Amino acid sequence: MLLNPVVVSVVVLAALSLARVNVIVALLIAALVAGLMSGLSIEDTMSTLVGGLGGQGETALSYILLGILSVMVARSGITEKLIRWILPRIQGKRAMALFGIAGLACFSQNLVPVHIAFIPILIPPLLTVFNRMKIDRRAVATALTFGLKAPYMLIPLGFGLIFQNIILGEMAAHGMEIELAQIPLAMAIPVAAMLVGLVISILVTYRRPREYRDAAPNLGVAAVGTDGAAGASGAVGAGTGWTRQHIVVLIALAVTLVLQLVFGSLVIAALGGVLIIFLFRGERWRASDELAHGGVTMMGTIAFIMLVASGYASVLTETGAVDSLVASATGWIGDSQLVAAMVMMTVGLLVTIGIGSSFGTIPILAAIFVPLCAAVGFTPLATAALVGAAGAIGDAGSPASDSTLGPTSGLNVDGQHHHIWDTCVPTFVHFNIPLFFGGIIAAMVL
């Protein structure tokens, strides 16, 4: 079993990823290992991988379009206007402020799908306010990461529609059918476990005041309306008027939401939102190259990782080694669904924390998990919970994940927030541990 091509390939992938090898290079090497160990030639292995790229083509395109829409929203300044309205209502109330930040971050995945684009715009101007309130920035990091992860796991809109469609499509590709409407039910327990982790981080772990010096941020980001350290306090009352661009962006976001609900396609929805902004002169057509470049810069790497991950999953399937792995694992696990769930969650943690992308991990894990779940006797709902939770478990805490890089980019502009110890470790502890047990519980009760 240990020499099974799938096992060796996944171990190679995890080892290379944890060694900080570029994830695309790691995927390609792991695919070659799987193909060569199964008797495929290098040419056949690469042909299979390239042929599998089409599996996530629509998802990758959705990411690129959402990246462009995110840049448009960021340039309008509308997200900063929202924080200016909320901030006076939460000053002096640390817990309320942190839960409010988590709530705002939740909007970035579904209702206003800008992903991490809002963080370098909103967080640097607030650092002085956080300092005066003596808020522990580790709590802010956990609040932001919760908002970047939990909504797409639970709600099938925006990035959630992408994530849940990947689960749906990959399960179907490996012989197990499930309805899209059932996936939120499958993810409810893992997300509830994450919520417990968020509450513990805010009310228990990081509840004590923490001192930071008031230092002028190194604003190498698009922090609208800020001027060094003074920008934090000035942001509260400045810029109260609504411009034509703000209104156009709001209309575009509403159109994006409606198109998602009507067509169930994020490509159509994001394209519609982008076109609305152009047609109503929220942005000039001549700026389209600049906007596209910004969108690809923001989301292109993730999109390409997902394409290569789909090809990698195709190599694993084509080798035929998945069937022998399932047979070996079933014999080792026996009839214990509990042991099977624990093993799958552990594998998911190792793979995802190395790759740093829940979206890119799902096709890899589904190729192994779905046949194994069927052999052990898990229901489709339990299988969806395991695939989704195992795909999401390593995203928080991964040094290479946008769910951790995003918060650090906003919190460390004045050099007082360490990426590993102040973002990765807190999010790992408060989200991966609850997700591990939440995924197992969901698999056992669904």
Distance CA 260, CA 69 (A): 14
Contact residues for 290 (Cβ-Cβ < 8 A; gap 6+): none
- The CB-based long-range contact list for 82-85 (8 Å cut-off, 24+ gap) reads 83/122, 83/125, 83/126, 83/235, 84/235, 84/236, 84/237, 84/238, 84/239, 84/240
Instruction: Locate 387 and state its tokens.
Output: 């695939």
Question: Look-up: residue for tokens 């004590």?
Answer: 208
* pLDDT confidence of residue 234: 36
* pLDDT confidence of residue 305: 61
Distance CA 228, CA 443 (A): 50
Distance CA 348, CA 325 (A): 16
Distance CA 351, CA 342 (A): 14
Per-position b or e across 309-336, b if 16+ CB within 10 A of its CB? bbbbbbbbbbbebbebbbebbbeebeee
* Local structure of 277: helix, strand or coil: helix
Cα 245 → chain centroid: 28
Cα 297 → chain centroid: 16
* pLDDT confidence of residue 142: 93
Averages of pLDDT over each 10 residues, the chain, 446 residues: 74 75 70 82 73 61 73 74 68 80 82 69 75 88 90 85 86 87 92 94 91 62 33 39 82 82 73 83 75 70 63 68 62 78 82 67 80 87 91 77 77 82 89 92 91
CB 356, CB 401: distance < 8 Å: yes
* pLDDT confidence of residue 4: 75
